[in-house]
Amino acid sequence: MRQNESFTIRLKAILSRLDEIQENYASDEDNALSDLDEIKEELEEINEHLFHFEDHLYTGDKDPNYFVKKAEECHHARELSNRVEKKIVNLRREITGYDEREIMQMMYPDEDIDSEDFEDGFDLEDFYDED
């Protein structure tokens, strides 16, 4: 199986899992939220691999037909990834009754809540002087 096909297959499988969670979350909301966290981590891993695959695609001499086909397949995988991400956000909002992202933006209005430094809890540059 080609790498970009595995992205699509994995993303479609995640969409199916999200559909199952949506149908059954009422019986165990805590478990559903935990599953959503795991799926989000899996999505981040897929996106990272997809980024590296795309980066490799743009390096070196490639047959133009191969390049176009792979670029279209990557674009399709990105579209699926975006659908998965939106579905995760919507399910979390449906389960919890609030939008966690909006709350984080209100709590930290001067921070880029999407940055990796924010996710890690602090920015190392804040703790070390640059001399």
Assigned domain for 130 exists: no
Token pair 């199986």 in the structure block, residue: 1
Structural domain count, the chain: 1
Whether pTM exceeds 0.95: no
Assigned domain for 126 exists: no
- Predicted local distance difference test score (pLDDT) of residue 80: 96
Q: Domain range holding 40? A: 3-23+30-120
Assigned domain for 128 exists: no
Mean pLDDT of the chain: 84
- Predicted local distance difference test score (pLDDT) of residue 45: 95
Assigned domain for 85 exists: yes
Assigned domain for 14 exists: yes
Assigned domain for 127 exists: no
Residues 108 and 118 sit within 8 Å (Cβ to Cβ):
yes
**Distance between CA atoms of 130 and 62, rounded to whole angstroms?**
43
**pLDDT per residue as tens digits for the range 22-32:** 999 999 999 99
Assigned domain for 125 exists: no
- Predicted local distance difference test score (pLDDT) of residue 131: 47
